[in-house]
Structure formats: structure tokens, C-alpha cells
Amino acid sequence: MSLAIRFLGTSASRPTVERNVSSIALIREGETILFDCGEGTQRQMMRYGITFALDEIFFTHLHADHILGVIGLCRTLALQGRTETMRMYGPRGCEKVLRRALTLGNEREEFPVAISECRPGEPLKRGPYSILPFDVQHAGPSLGYALIEDDRLGRFNPDRARELGVPEGRMWGELHRGQSVRLEDGRTVTPGDLVGPPRPGRRVVITGDCLPSASTVEIAHGADLLVHEATFGEEEAVRAAETGHSTAKQAAEVAARAGAGQLALTHLSARYSRDAVELEREARAVFPNTIIARDGMTIEIPFRDAPESDAG
């Protein structure tokens, strides 16, 4: 079951030759979700193979470098004849701002757009996973988002099933789904005989622009991937605090406290656009499994290993 993110824009407030402004595509089993939509995002989508057949866009906050691209993207979708509803989500106040942007130059929207203002801590259920908005500290109402998959069924032991005389087919499926079965000889076989403990789903956390915070540590606890902004290096720590941003070292400290599996740094100031070696060095000194995101980079998120069942 595939899960990946592709970075469409990794620069901070202005684009550079190497980096566009903020946008991330998350692709799960063929479904694409966009997080932020800075200026030029639609071109980045075309450049890096992200489909326009998406239905949801999540905005972390309402600064121009995170929302301006939605105007052009929606114009293109309208010209392509889109009729399906686009759902957009964001922090408090997003509906007024986004409606104004979407009707710029037009009297009406070309296709339905549903806009919801998210409440931190209230998950949005999507079948086998949820999107959980959480509070982050930045200038104005701001949110981070976590994609959290449901736990998976435990591992089924087919060899042990055969030893116990459970016929392959319907009974195997029932046992795997947690139901006991009765064999022809009268014996009852329970799921505990053949199925291991539930295995965790995956968790991906995207902070948007933010100061380092306890809320991010909590949400990112045990995350497979934490995508955290790192606008500045340590030499600009005071400026980072004044502007509601993080340094690379601070982001790494968050990842370490959370026990995340991997950290990807994005939203880099233009001064680091070509050479982010110093940011990487500062972060890896605290959290070794750190990478500097770049436009077009894809990170695959595999399932974590789970212990084999010792049933029977």
C-alpha cells in the first residue's frame, strides 16, 4: 500500500531559481492531497508529475506564499472543464480569504468549492486514515496536519492454520478479521491462535510555518516522517523567534523529542537556496536521520516492521 510525499515548493517567502514557494503533494494509493498552494504550484505539479485530479487542498495558514497558487490552479481546472467539487480546509478565517481569492477577476466560481475552517484536534476521517489538524505557533491562525492511518490487522500464520486443520478460504478470512471458527470435528479455533497483534499504520506530520512547540512533539510522537520548516540556521535564531519560524537545529530537536523516524526540512530562506549544507549539519548533529527537501524530491513512507505473531 503506497504512501509518499512529493515536494513541489521548498523555499520560504519568495521563490528562487532552485526552489518554488510552499506546496507539498501527498499521494496515498493513487489519491493525491495538496498541502499549501504557493504561487506557481500548478506548474510544479505538471513538472513533477502530480495529477490535477485531486479533490482536497489543506492550507496551513493564509500568508501569500502559501495560498496565491490556488487562483491559477483553479483557473486551469475550470478551463479543463472540471465540474467536481473541490474541498479546501484551513485555519480560522480561511473561508473569507479563499473565497475572495477564487473570485478574483470573475463574478463566480466555475465549479463548486467547499471551504471548511478546521478545529485543532478534530480529525477528518477518510476511510482507513484520518487527517488531524493541530495548533502551531506562527503569525496569525495556523495549523499543522497529520495523516494518521488506522492500525492494520495482525499477521496471519498460514502454516499454523494448516497444522490446526483450518481449511483455506472463508475461515482464514474470518479468523484474520477477528472471528472464531468451528471446525468439522467440533474444535473451535480463535483469532489468538493464528493472528498476531495489530500492526500500526503510518503517520506523516506536516507543520507548515511555525515555531518549535510541544504540540508538534505530541502529534509527531513516533511519526514515520516529520516535515518541519527550517527557515533559518542557528546564527539567525533570534530572527526566527521574532518572525514565528524555526531553525534547522530546533526542528531537529522537535524530531528527537518526538521519536520520529525521519525528518525532512523545508521552507528554507532564499540565502540557503543553493547550499543548505550548514542547515543539514546543524540538524544532523541533533537528529541524524535528517534530509533537506528540494523541489521534486519524493519520499516513500513504508510500513514499519511489526513483530511476527507468536500465536500457537
Known catalytic residues are 65
Report the sign of the C-alpha dihedral through residues 243, 249, 255, 259, in that order.
negative
Question: What ranges make up the beta strands (E) of 221-262?
Answer: 225-229
Report the sign of the C-alpha dihedral through residues 114, 72, 59, 49, in that order.
positive
CA distance 228 to 230: 6
* Rg of the chain in Å (alpha carbons): 22
DSSP 259: T
Three-state DSSP state, 310: coil
Q: Within 13 A of 245's CA, how many CA atoms are on the CB side?
A: 21
DSSP 168: S
Which residues have a Cβ under 8 Å from the Cβ of 47 and sit 6 or more positions away? 296
CA angle 21, 24, 26 (to 5 degrees): 170
Q: Which of 3, 70, 58, 9 is nearest to 30 (CA)?
A: 3
Q: Which of 158, 199, 152 is nearest to 175 (CA)?
A: 158
